[in-house]
Structure 1
Amino acid sequence: MNDLMCFRHCSVDKSIFYLATRPISSSSVCPLCKRALRESHFIVPPFRIASPLTKNAVGIPHSLTIKPSSKSFVDYCHGDDLHVGVSDSRGRIHHYDEFGLHCDSNPETTFWTDCLLIQNKISQLTNIEECIQSDEWTQARYEPDTLNCYDFVVSVVNESEKSRVWTKENFCREILLPHTSRVGKFLLIFRRALNDILAVV
């Protein structure tokens, strides 16, 4: 996903955004005051806002990875299912679904592109191998609501972080929500910038 650019032109409380891959042209005008941007002063000159999504998570060790189950984040709607995995010390991503456990190690895979990556929030995930050898994470035992990819990740974290026991609820609240909320805010502006060359927020 592309980065965004942001500036303030004629208003101290209205920001204007555009895609970093779609630079301001010589004919661009401010959507607020209609003056030519190339010939006027900026209250805040354009600066880059990096996408919170990682281009490819394979190869990044000791991290949580989150993506929509069936589409990209650009097309994601509130309430759509998310898929989550966890990477080991070699950056291989382990995840669980209705077909059982998977281990993605090929950096050429497109499954984990433009996904949310979470690092440095929990202890090093050192016990993944022990978890994946458990009989619990089989195709036959998978249940969409009660034994799924999220249960697998929380189990891995609990095996690795002995000082605390995470429930699914507090793990979501303390670890996932701060990051997914940031992605949601970015996506809201990104989609407006996709539709409008200069999006006022």
Structure 2
Amino acid sequence: MWWWGDPHIVNITCNKKKTQKVVGSARDMIAVTGQTRPYPPAMDTLELMRQVLWCTVSPPAGLCSGVAPLPGSCDSHTAAMAMFRDQEEAEAPQPLAPSLVMFTHCDRDIYSCSVPQQCPLCGQIPVSSWELEKAPVSIPNPFVNAHREKCSFVVRPTKGRFLGGYDGRSDLHVGITSSKGIVHHFNETGTHKDVTGWEQCVSVPLVPPDQYALIHQWDSYIEEFSRNEKWLPHRYNEKDHNCYMYALMFINSLLHLQEKKTFTKEEFTERFVLPRTRRASKYITLCHEVSQHYFYIVDHPRSDRRA
């Protein structure tokens, strides 16, 4: 296990475009190119990732759960709030729903499980004033069923699931999927092959789908790798010979066979794991706030620029 905090590894361009909205595809495949940002040498890699997740799961600065009244509109806001809750009560969103939408109204970006009949800020019908850029956008779920992912690096909580109580401070576990979605992983009792239990994961695809020869041999590679005495139960060390090192050493063994540059723990984490864990953390925050308050609101970027 390891403490938590993009992608074809074996044949891989990095999209460095940044956005304030959580609307990018959670399953884009990126390559191993570009410069690595300076990495704090004094902090353990796994501890850094745990802190990344913990800090992001907490509501980020500038975002507000519920609704903040607009200047001079306290009474109208209260009425609109009551109207919104009454009309939505019959079909209230389920806690931590797996899908979200975002629409723009009153110069705010509003996240919810569905588009309400009235804007929770002003009580007006939001659809009547939509411009193209303000139309609803579906927020993709960054989590995948690892048993449907082939040849990937996957991450899940050691206990439970990301959506449904994960607080950003609990242990995480990683593994490598076979070409058939079987998850190979390593812990204090040795190596394992799971056909269930990894249904909600962060995934980093490792092989382009057109690399048929490598995919065909993938399962035999990981079976042989897992039989090495390095992965006997008594060799396990939670700090430096754990599930993360099992997965990374397997990836590096394939890169070595192809005479390609291998990765340090810091390089792999920075380039491929942290971008996806940050995206997942934002999604967890959105789901938590929407499940608690029906919606999650942030100032629209254009209104920030006008201010």
Residue correspondence of structure 1 range 126-165 to structure 2 within 5 A: 126=218, 127-162=221-256, 163-165=260-262
What's 1:60 paired with?
149
Q: Distance in 2 between matches of 1:116 and 1:130?
A: 25
Question: CA RMSD of the aligned region, Å?
Answer: 2.1
Gapped regions of structure 1 (runs ≥ 5) = none
Q: Distance in 2 between matches of 1:82 and 1:140?
A: 21
Contact 2:158 2:171 in 1 (8 A): yes
| Displacement after TM superposition at 1:159 (Å) | 0.7
Count of aligned pairs: 188
| Displacement after TM superposition at 1:92 (Å) | 1.6
AA matched with 1:150: Y
Q: Distance in 1 between matches of 2:264 and 2:169?
A: 21
Q: Distance in 1 between matches of 2:233 and 2:227?
A: 13
AA matched with 1:146: D
Flag the structure with higher helix content: 2
Residue identity (%):
29
Gapped regions of structure 2 (runs ≥ 5) = 1-96, 299-307
What's 2:166 paired with?
76
| Displacement after TM superposition at 1:42 (Å) | 2.5
Q: Deviations over 1:52-101 (max 9, x none)?
A: 101x2114211111111112112222332211000122322101112211
Ranked by relative contact order (alpha carbons within 8 Å, sequence separation 6 or more), the top structure is 2
Contact 2:101 2:115 in 1 (8 A): no
| Displacement after TM superposition at 1:24 (Å) | 3.8
| Displacement after TM superposition at 1:103 (Å) | 0.6
Q: Deviations over 1:113-153 (max 9, x none)?
A: 11111114789573312210100111121111121100100
Contact 1:121 1:175 in 2 (8 A): no
Residue correspondence of structure 1 range 1-201 to structure 2 within 5 A: 2-11=98-107, 14-19=108-113, 23-25=114-116, 28-37=117-126, 40-43=128-131, 44-54=134-144, 56-74=145-163, 75-105=165-195, 109=196, 111-120=197-206, 126=218, 127-162=221-256, 163-201=260-298
Distance 1:116 1:135, change over 3 A: same
Secondary structure of the residue that 1:130 maps to in structure 2? Answer: helix
TM-score (norm 1): 0.84
